[in-house]
Chain A
Amino acid sequence: MTELKSSSKGRILALFTRYYFLLRSSWPRIIEIAYWPTMQMVMWGFVSKHFAPSSPELTAGGVLISVVLIWDTLFRSHISYTLSFLEEMWSRNLGNLFVAPLRPWELMLGLACISLIRTLIGMIPAALLAIPFFGVSVFDMGLPLFAFFFNLVLTGWAMSQFVTAILIRYGLGAESLTWVLPFLIAPFSCIYYPLSTLPVWMQDVASFIPTTYVFEGMRALLIEGVWRQDLLLQALGLNVVYLGLGMWTFLFAFRVARTHGLLLQAGE
């Protein structure tokens, strides 16, 4: 028999290799990853420039461009994770994956790794281009930038876990949820405005969303120059809870799919 040395690390690396091959197989895909964040940055950069003389509070410290870039982190993180999973469904490959000794949590971790790489490929060029174009460098935030970035990546993964759970259970009919979900939380996340702008009932809902704390924290840092560690910790706490729930939901959906025989038909 062929010598086998099966390990979780090896299987996650195998998945990573699979998504790397997929990515390099199509240069339009690579360009597309960086295209949207860059376009967002350019568009909002001009909006920011336009409002700068009349509404300095809106554009102080490059806050508008910075929040746009940081919000896109969440969107890219979520889309990259979910699209990689959808690739398996579109290619009717889930059956092959799940008869291999691949644990569902290893699949989740593999998807998260590739999501992180794709998010960085998308965000770094946009963030770098914002410096010569509009004189705004998100890197000036220093270490807090990584805290904001990390939290939004985690929120993106948590959302993806819920969406992929629904995809496993209901198939490609639920595909549109991939695009819809980030926009559902956007109004509550207070990306472009402070939390106090929202009506009270929306503020109550927003308090359960980690991104609210991230953007409040960013505004405090960029406008007032205050580093609100408490907000970051609240975001992190909520992210840990949602990631846990997301994992449980995915594993539950996987179990249901095994009971109902959905794994072989997942691409149909």
Chain B
Amino acid sequence: MKPILQTHSLTKVFRGVSAVDDLAFSLEKASITALLGGNGAGKTTTLSMLLGLLRPTSGSIYLFGQDFIKNRFSVLNRMNFSSPYVDLPQRLTVWENLLVYAKLYGVVNPKKRVEEVAESFRIENLLNQRLRRLSSGQKTRVSLAKSFINKPEFLLLDEPTASLDPDTTSWIRELLRQYRDEQGATILFASHDMREVELLCDKALLMKEGRLVEEGTPKELLEKYNRDNLEDVFLQVNRKKKKDD
């Protein structure tokens, strides 16, 4: 199957320090991929470049077959994102926030779509509440609802289940899986929750010091490192000294 996203030699240098170095990977349509790595591994920098918020120092990003760096606006309405580090306006109600974003993405029947995502994320009873009055778990659900507002074909999620209780985490996982299957959407998410990665992902990308050091299905990685769980794989990869050290 033709990949919907391809990066080649993607590099970002901040003041002489490489935050992301020569990153090359591709994502298949209708797949869920986890982007893993310790603090400072380059996950957020990578996501920012894939969202168009950060201009790469060099390399290329092809999204839906188009040069994303040169012409991101042609594909931005086919993608969306959610992050606990980016908020929605706190003084607006949940309904107002979702309606504004539905209109920004050009959703044809925005009010109907707001109702749909509210139902999917079980936030119907929060629609008239101002965002600032919600708990962090409720805000996460609203942020996720916003990221689904345009039914994106490519969804980027930064720690999607952060601050959610185990029960909510479980059905959000199921929702993501269902969305991938029904819509053929591609999902890339950064997470520190290795259990979640094992349960949800078709593929994991492991980053360390800005470089891609491992790539494979959870099963492949477990077999390669002869471990029972991804957390041990992550620890082993992360603690492994660089070859040139």
Contacts and interface: CB of A to CB of B under 8 A. Distances in A.
A5 B53 CA distance: 23
B53 A99 contact: yes
Interface string A35-66: 00000000000000000000000000000000
A6 B92 contact: no
B86 interface: yes
Interface in B47-98: 48, 51-55, 73, 76-77, 79-81, 83, 85-93, 96
A179 to B, nearest CB: 21
B26 to A, nearest CB: 21
A176 interface: no
Contact of A17 (B12, B79, B103, B130): B103
Nearest to B81: A99
Nearest to A11: B104
Interface of B (DSSP majority class): mixed
Interface string B84-121: 01111111110010011101111111000100000000
Nearest to B57: A259
B130 A25 contact: yes
A94 to B, nearest CB: 8
A88 B92 CA distance: 12
B105 A6 contact: yes
Contacts of B105: 4, 6, 100-101
Contacts of B113: 2
Given A18-B92, A95-B83, A102-B104, A1 B151 contact: yes
Interface stretch (A125-133, A153-161, A191-199, A260-268): A260-268
Given A2-B113, A258-B53, A264 B86 contact: yes
A22 B91 contact: yes
A13 B103 contact: yes
A10 B51 contact: no
A114 interface: no
Interface in A81-114: 87-88, 91-93, 95-103
Listed residue (B92, B101, B103) with the most chain A CB atoms within 10 angstroms of its CB: B103
A260 B107 CA distance: 32
Contacts of B103: 10-11, 13-14, 17
Contacts of A103: 73
Given A2-B113, A5-B108, A99 B88 contact: no
Contacts of B161: none
Contacts of B153: 1
Nearest to A263: B53
B92 to A, nearest CB: 5
Contacts of B101: 14, 96, 100
Nearest to A18: B100
A224 interface: no
A260 B19 CA distance: 12
Interface in A5-32: 5-7, 10-11, 13-15, 17-18, 21-22, 25-26
A3 interface: yes
B141 interface: no
A25 B100 CA distance: 14
Given A4-B77, A15-B104, A25-B130, A93 B54 contact: no
B7 to A, nearest CB: 17
B133 to A, nearest CB: 12
A3 B45 CA distance: 31
Nearest to A88: B89
Nearest to A260: B14
A91 B53 contact: no
B106 A10 contact: yes
A240 to B, nearest CB: 27
B146 interface: yes
Q: What are the 5 tightest A-B residue pairs by CB atom distance, in nearest-first order? A: A6-B106, A14-B103, A95-B86, A2-B151, A101-B76
24 contacts: A1-B153, A1-B183, A4-B105, A4-B106, A5-B106, A6-B77, A6-B105, A10-B106, A14-B100, A14-B104, A21-B93, A21-B100, A25-B130, A26-B91, A92-B85, A98-B52, A99-B79, A100-B105, A101-B73, A101-B105, A101-B106, A261-B45, A264-B48, A264-B86
